[in-house]
Every structure is written in structure tokens, then in C-alpha cells.
Amino acid sequence: MRNTVFERTEHESPGQRISRSVYNLIIGLVLCWGFLVNWVMVKTIPYESIASITPWVFFIGYFASCFFGIFLFTKSEAPLVSFIGYNLVVVPFGLIINLVVYHYDPSLVLDAIRVTGLVTFVMMILGSMFPLFFEKIAGALTIALLVVIIVEMVEIFILKIHHGIIDWIVVIIFCGYVGYDWGRANRIPKTVDNAVDSAASLYMDIINLFLRILRIMGRRR
């Protein structure tokens, strides 16, 4: 689910320019909004009501909402439309998070959130310090992610097994993506719309990172 948000130039980014501090603040607020929505969904939507949905209906709805949301925030130049697209990604992700965290102790979930936050913070710093390094490994990250997805699908649906090493590999990949996307987010023109779009991309990186960290920590417990 990569996009071209971070390839925008000055001519492709209409709208008033804002300061770096305001730009980063908007990214942070948009991310916090997405995490808050997910938290409310986990607290208020019963696991059974989601689990009872027919699997093919659930996944069609999930991918349709995600892809339409990505289309909106990728193509739109209006912050409000991009924010709507962002929420169309946040909500289906929230349903997946609800299904996953149901099986873990709340204290473990909080531990995973703390670890994810720390890892994200460190990778953002590294992304700011070494943007060229992350840009060089971007192609390798994409290839690695595609390979891991294929291998994991074969393991789950054909071999009926799951190797824990896959989770570690995915964590490493999304750590790279957080650093890469954060570095690129701070190189594109600083507008409100670009801040919302950057936050949407970072949100997907962070949530994928959290889910894998939770699985790893759950096995160790």
C-alpha cells in the first residue's frame, strides 16, 4: 500500500506553506486522532460482533475501504478530503486491531504500545538524521515486504504453519519504512494537506509495526 505522497514537488503541492513545527504538530495530531479512534473502537465494539461477520464480506469491505481511503488522501489536494480518506483507512484497521488485541492480556497490549512508541520515536530520529540511507534501502524494503507477504500466505493457507521469524522480519521492514517515510515527509512542501497525507502513510507503518510487536511479545509471555 505504498503511494506517491512523498514524491510531490512545489508545483504539485498547492496551498499555504506552514512552518516545520506546525507541520510536524499536524502530523502528530492526525496520528493521535487515528490511534484514539482505534482505542475507542476496541473499547466499544464487542469482539463477537466483528468475528460474526462473514469472512469474505469482512475482507472485501476492509480492502475496499482501505484502498478508497488511500486513493482519496493520495489524490486530493484538500486537507478535509485527505482527512476523510485517512479515516477510511483508520476504521478498518481498527477492526483488525480489535480482533487481534482481544486475545491478549491488556497489560501486554500496553507494553506493546510502549515498545512501539519507543521504536517509532527512535526510527523517526534516525530518519531525520540519515534520510539518504533510508532512501537507498527503500527498494529493498519493498521487495522484502512483498516476499514476506507471499511466504506468509503460503505458510498460513497451504502449509498451515507460522514461523515466528516472519514477525521479526516484518518488524525490521516496518522500522525501515517509518524512518523512510518520516524522512521523506520532512522533505516535501510543508502544507496542511501534505501533513495529513504523511500522517496517513506513517499510521499504516506504525500499526503494522504494533501488531507484529504484540505478537512477538505475546509468544514470549
Torsion angle, alpha carbons of 86, 2, 166, 174, to 10: -70
R_g over Cα of the chain = 17
Contacts with 60 (C-beta within 8 Å, 6 or more apart), sequence order: none
* pLDDT tens, position by position, 59-83: 999 999 999 999 999 988 899 999 9
Amino acid identity of 82? Answer: S
- Cell representation of residue 179: 524512518
pTM: 0.91
How many domains does the chain contain in total? 1
* pLDDT tens, position by position, 1-56: 444 666 666 666 667 899 999 999 999 999 999 999 999 999 999 999 999 999 99
SS3 state at 102: coil
Domain, as residue range, for 97: 5-220
Whether 203 contacts 7, CB under 8 Å: no
The torsion region of residue 17 among left (phi > 0), alpha (psi -120 to 50) and beta comes to beta
**If pLDDT is split at 50, 70 and 90, which confidence band does 156 have?**
confident
